[in-house]
Structure 1
Amino acid sequence: MTAVNNPVLTGFNPDPSIVRVEDDYYIATSTFEWFPGVQISHSKDLVNWRVLTHPLTRYSQLDLRGRPNSGGVWAPSLSYADGMFYLIYTDVRDWTGIFKDARNFLVTAPHIEGPWSEPIFLNASGFDPSLFHDDDGRKWLLNMVWDHRPEEHNFGGILIQEFDAEKGALVGPVTNIFRGSELGLVEGPHLYKVDGWYYLLTAEGGTFTTHAETVARSRDILGPYELMPDNPLITSAGVPELPLQSAGHGSLVQHRDGTWAFAHLCRRPQANGRSILGRETSLQKIVWVDGWPRLASGGKTPLDRFEAPELPEHPWPEPIRRDEFDTTHLGPHWQAPRVPIDEQMASLTERPGFLRLYGRESIVSRFEQSLVARRQKSFHIEASTCLDFHPENFQQMAGLVAFYSTDNFYYLFLTHAPHSKRCLGLMRCERGKVSFLIEKEYPLDDWQQVCLKLEIKNDRIRFFYSRDGQQWSAAGGEEDASILSDEHALPIGFTGNFVGVACQDLAGTRQHADFDWFEYKELAD
């Protein structure tokens, strides 16, 4: 066996849906308001992983403009049958009130990297859909049902309905097959058939400290389903010393040799209980005992080491640490809030060797702003960039961001001020309240380019600026990085911190900023 540290997908990678196709493993994870939608990671040995693709790349598949923070794509389900990949996903338009406006869609592709089809609308009865391919050729859609009635529990159970692939539509009756266990908040269904039994895996207990994964089974796909003895399969509840917290919401995969593994989400909270990296993906070895899946380690708590099956080692090239912007397209680790990274926002060809961002709406806009970023994947990082930017008025800004959402971020930026044609400012937004952390912006009029840097170490963040990228001066003081977390969001959140670059022109004249490079470094603690 080859042992690998958990999480295997670090940083914001929640709700893993894992599938094996021949010798390739794929995990689809939620992307919420980040575009393009659904992140698919790829491995051949379950040890080495790479970000491979994002299937939802155009507005006709996913239009996130106006979506609330932590809205958008929830809990995708990736499967393979009949020589095709099937991807089911929820697009959540609103989620914070008594109602959930959540629409479920299906796209397909002959290859994992596409082309992916136009979406088929399925239903809007709840979220977390998945597609089960039965061995008789029939296909079934599952999703949790949201019940807004005050006298009922909001998490109303797991619905199932047949999907007719030829018609591209749901057919037949809708059946509620499982209303959950005593853990409550049943969601995230995945269905498997093993030795004539239908096994239903569901997430329960909410996605924070009491999170868990429940198992039930039935001889009939429509039930009744019996709960696994000594349920749940996995949980971190009640064991705060575990390095992996919030374990739950996952899916099973069978290896070529017949053995099994379980991919699940988890958190690694810091001392103050906040998880700046968001929900991540871990793997656990599974054994079958008396007809039920169990953790091979015994018990119910997740291990921070995973024993991978004996597979040929398959490392990938090391991710680029310093992006020189010398290609025609950004790599798959770059995403943007709510909108495509297209020529309306960004160009790698207008000034070769630079990323040009065109200023658009404000950094708190939920519609069309110019911001591109990548996940924070480690507790101790540096992110830096060098930009050429000449603002003409105070409504134009560009710079470096640590960005959790439009309500929680830090922004080290250049702008125009009465005392300086170009000066440095530092902005913090905490729970929607914006404050400026430098009393009077530092003038940098005679600098051709300005280099900016941030350092995050656990729950602290610091900012720097430089003329040459070698000698750095502090900008402001040390700040609280843990505001960039689900636990600090209002009312709660489901994503993780990103670092990247941004440009605004609130006057609508599309003043641009040219970024020479962007460097992301993971540092030793």
Structure 2
Amino acid sequence: MSAGQIHNPVLPGFHPDPSIARAGDHYYLATSTFEWFPGVPLHRSADLVNWELIGHALDRTELIDLRGVPDSGGVWAPSLSYSDGQWWLIYSIVRTVGAPYKDVDNYLVTAPDIEGPWSEPVFLNSSGFDPSLFHDEDGRKWLVNLQWDHRAGRQAFAGIVLQEYDARKQTLVGQPCNILRHDELIEGPNLYRRDGWYYLMLAEGGTGWNHGVLMARSRRLTGPYAFDPNGSLLTTRDDPDGPLRKAGHGELVETPDGEWFLAHLASRPVDTPDGPRCILGRETCLQRVGWTDDGWLRLVGGGNKPLTEVAAPRGTPHPVPEPAARDDFGSLALDPSWNTLRVPLGPARLTLAERPGWLRLRGRQSSHSAFQQSLVAKRLRSVRCEATTVLDFHPTHFSQMAGLICWYDTTTHFYLRVTHEEGRGRVLGIDLTDDGSYQELTSSAVPVDDWPLIHLRARFQGAELRFSASPDGTAWQRIGPVLDAGKLSDDYGTRLRFTGAFVGVCAQDLGGTSAPADFDWFELRDV
């Protein structure tokens, strides 16, 4: 009996670099979070069809310190595994993005239960990113990661490095060994053992339109490894019109019945006058795979293109509750679907208790800061959606602002905010930061001093973004022009970008007086 159809992406919105593992009858997915806190969301499923967010692995500052990390730095490519009766999670923290350097530290944490508590981090190495842990049949454990080479004239992606990990001593032992090099860009290594072969699953071609999954194998752990003669197991580089693009970075999981599935990332582009743009970032998908008689892995059904509809594994469906569209802030803790930038917001900056039924944010640094922002946001899961909130805010100085923000990173975001202007009182307007260039749309400013509450709305329709506002939630008026939501994507700008679009609420107080902004509720729904 099949549990039905897997609808890709299984994790819509910004969920890149999926790592999948099974323990008993349940499957778990961990994904990258970059500069967002908490780090590494954990999703659970009993059928590979229905997934629920159960929390985050890196939910304490002892596990990740992201203060000052650059946009698209932070937590890269976690690797989740289950062995010896416990969970193992490997992750990178990248503090320098771009060339020539990648200042990166790789860590290991463990937990007896997927929901924690997770151990204090064990430092592993800093030689490169995308580490993963391989548990061999003899009980030994091995770390593999990309070797980064900063030197001029050299291949920066300098091969895959293997080194043994001693779990008792909690340290790497022996000397690292470079087990595979390739003229093409390869990263994201994961080791598997089957029928006397060691298999390396690799991400190839970078994270953009040329992305793919490539396999290599060897009879010996240390190599030599031979690449799959058929080339890419999965790619969309030759499918410019497919619904899923940028497919790559894969991991394998086997069901209790011996069926195999590949978790991978992909993006769903939106057409814009400037070309396709992936506003939702890189999302998590699943494909059926199987082993050939000569021991290579292939997509079930043939070819190497990802499918949007995939037959689920045998078993009974296990539906899970749909995430609530509206948050009335009736709890004393934020729902785990909310995220903050780089650091958690303690009760001095974010509270649900001071005004019950309201979220109170106390203003901190600007939207350009990589240190201390008062911002909470949710992943955009659809490019046809509407975000609405209600704001009670009484600024007394132009340095105090609060409102609704549509976010890619500190260099690119659209902000519908309330502030104070001398002689006018409260004013509602739009601030834009476009690839680092700041602009205020003063012609769109609206006086709102006599509004009892300020209802704010952002509506996404493909690559078009429209802001509106209302004093009562009934009579809405457009604020500003139609904005280019395609800029909230990896495919825009002059900097390396690896995340996805968010929408949320924030407050700033550049004078350091911590002015409070209260939000009655927040709703994000498809339209």
What TM-score do the two structures reach when normalised by structure 1? 0.98
The aligned amino acid for 1:376 is: L
Q: What is aligned with 2:448?
A: 444
Contact 2:97/2:496, CA 8 A, preserved across alignment: no
Aligned position for 1:283: 286
CA contact (8 A) 1:126 1:143 kept: yes
State the partner residue of 1:257: 257
Alpha-carbon distance in structure 1 between the residues aligned to 2:424 and 2:315: 61
C-alpha distance after superposition, 1:177-198 (max 9, x if no partner):
1113x5x111000011111211
Residue 353 of structure 1 aligns with which residue? 357
Please name the residue that 1:365 is paired with.
369
Confirm whether residue 39 of structure 1 aligns to residue 41 of structure 2.
yes
**Is the CA contact 1:438–1:476 (under 8 Å) kept in the aligned structure 2?**
no
Q: Distance in 1 between matches of 2:335 and 2:311?
A: 30
> Are 2:388 and 1:384 aligned?
yes
The answer to whether residue 335 in structure 2 is matched with residue 331 in structure 1 is yes
The answer for the alignment partner of 2:484 in structure 1 is 480
Which residue is equivalent to 1:269? Answer: 269
Instruction: Please state whether the residue corresponding to 2:491 is helix, strand or coil.
Output: helix
Equivalent residue number for residue 396 of structure 1: 400
Q: Kindly, what percent of the aligned residue pairs are identical?
A: 52
Which of the residues 5, 11, 30 maps onto 1:9? 11
Using the alignment, how far apart are the partners of 2:249 and 2:444 within structure 1?
A: 47
Give the conservation status (yes or no) of the 8 Å contact 1:12–1:497.
yes
Superposition map of 1:504-515 within 5 A = 504-515=508-519
Q: Write the distance in 2 (CA, Å) between the matches of 1:425 and 1:95.
A: 33
1:26 is matched with which residue? Answer: 28
1:440, distance to aligned residue in structure 2 (A): 6.0
3-state SS of paired residue (2:443): coil
Distance 1:440 1:285 in 2: 51
Which residue is 1:433 aligned to?
A: 437
**SS class of match (2:315):** coil
How much does 1:470 deviate? 2.0
Q: Which amino acid aligns with 1:489?
A: G
CA distance in 2, matches of 1:268, 1:15: 15
In the alignment, the residues of structure 1 paired with residue 68 and residue 146 of structure 2 have an alpha-carbon distance, to the nearest angstrom, of 24
CA distance in 1, matches of 2:509, 2:443: 22
Paired AA for residue 283 in structure 1: L
Which string of whole-angstrom CA distances, capped at 9 and with x for unpartnered residues, describes residues 15-54 of structure 1?
0000011111111100000001111111111111111111
Paired residue secondary structure (1:439): helix
Amino acid at match of 1:372: V
Shift of 1:438: 3.4
Asked whether the equivalents of residues 203 and 250 of structure 2 are also in contact (C-alpha less than 8 Å), the reply is: yes
How far did 1:152 drift? Answer: 1.6
Q: Give the stretch that moved more between structures: 399-408 or 418-427.
A: 418-427
- Aligned residue identity for 2:37: F
Whole-Å Cα distance in 2 between the matches of residues 469 and 208 of structure 1?
Answer: 41
Deviates more, 1:264-273 or 1:130-139: 264-273
**Is residue 2:194 matched to residue 1:194?**
yes
Give the drift of 1:57: 1.5
| 1:418 aligned to which of 414, 418, 422 | 422
What residue is the counterpart of 2:213 in the other structure?
Answer: 213
Name the CA distance, whole Å, in 2 between partners of 1:190 and 1:158: 10
Q: Which amino acid aligns with 2:289?
A: I
The answer to whether the 8 A contact 2:98-2:496 is kept is no
Provide the rounded CA distance (Å) in 1 between the counterparts of 2:346 and 2:33: 18
2:149: which partner in 1?
A: 147
CA distance in 1, matches of 2:71, 2:494: 9
What is the SS of the residue equivalent to 2:257?
coil
Task: For residue 366 of structure 1, report the CA deviation from its aligned partner.
Answer: 0.5
CA deviation profile, 1:327-357 (whole Å, cap 9, x unmatched): 0111111001111132132101011100000
Q: Which amino acid aligns with 1:126?
A: G
Aligned pairs, number: 521
Shift of 1:269: 1.1
Q: Distance in 1 between matches of 2:346 and 2:202?
A: 37
Partner Cα separation in structure 1 for residue 70 and residue 202 of structure 2: 26
Letter in 2 for 1:6: N
Residue number in structure 2 paired with 1:232: 232
Structure 1: distance between partners of 2:458 and 2:150: 43
**1:345–1:357: 8 Å Cα contact kept in structure 2?**
yes
Amino acid at match of 2:72: S
**1:335, 1:341 within 8 Å by CA — same for their partners in 2?**
no
Q: How far 1:273 sits from its partner (Å)?
A: 1.2
Aligned equivalent of 1:128: 130
Indicate conservation of the 8 Å contact 2:213/2:249, yes or no. yes
- In the alignment, what sits opposite 1:103? 105
Q: Secondary structure at the match of 1:55?
A: strand
Q: Which residue does 1:491 correspond to in 2? A: 495
AA paired with 2:347?
E
What is the rounded CA distance, in whole Å, between the counterparts of 2:48 and 2:39 in structure 1? 23
Q: CA deviation at 1:367?
A: 0.3
Q: How far apart are the structure 2 equivalents of 1:75 and 1:355? A: 32
Deviation at 1:472, TM superposition (A): 0.9
AA at the equivalent of 1:318: E
Residue 85 of structure 2: aligned partner = 83
Match of 1:314 among 311, 318, 329: 318
* 1:306 alignment partner AA: V
The amino acid of 2:218's aligned partner reads S
Q: Which runs of 5+ in 2 are unaligned?
A: none
In structure 2, distance between residues paired with 1:129 and 1:410: 35
Q: What's the offset of the Cα at 1:365?
A: 0.6
In 2, the alpha carbon distance for the partners of 1:343 and 1:142 equals 40
8 Å contact 1:93–1:101 — kept in the other structure? yes
Give the conservation status (yes or no) of the 8 Å contact 1:420–1:444.
no
Please show how residues 150-189 of structure 1 align to structure 2 within 5 Å. 150-180=152-182, 182=183, 184-189=184-189
Which residue of structure 2 lines up, in the alignment, with residue 292 of structure 1?
Answer: 296
The question of whether the paired residues in 2 share the 8 Å contact of 1:107 and 1:118 is answered with yes
- Say if 2:74 and 2:94, in contact at 8 Å, map to a contact too: yes
The alignment's TM-score, normalised by the length of structure 2, stands at 0.98
- Aligned partners of 1:430, 1:148: CA distance in 2, in Å? 30
Amino acid in the other structure paired with 1:473? Q
Q: Which amino acid aligns with 1:95?
A: V
- Return the alpha-carbon distance in structure 1 between the equivalents of residues 9 and 250 of structure 2: 13
Give the 3-state SS of the residue equivalent to 1:475 in structure 2: strand
Paired residues of 2:161 and 2:176 also in contact (CA < 8 A): yes
Q: Quote the offset at 1:158 in angstroms.
A: 0.4
SS at match of 1:410: strand
Structure 2 residue aligned with 1:501, among 500, 505, 519?
505
Task: Look up the SS of the partner of 1:482 in the other structure.
Answer: helix
Q: Matches of 2:76 and 2:177 in 1, distance apart? A: 22
CA distance in 2, matches of 1:25, 1:83: 15
Q: CA RMSD in A?
A: 1.0
Tell me the residue number matched to 2:117.
115
List structure 1 runs of 4+ shifted beyond 4 angstroms: none
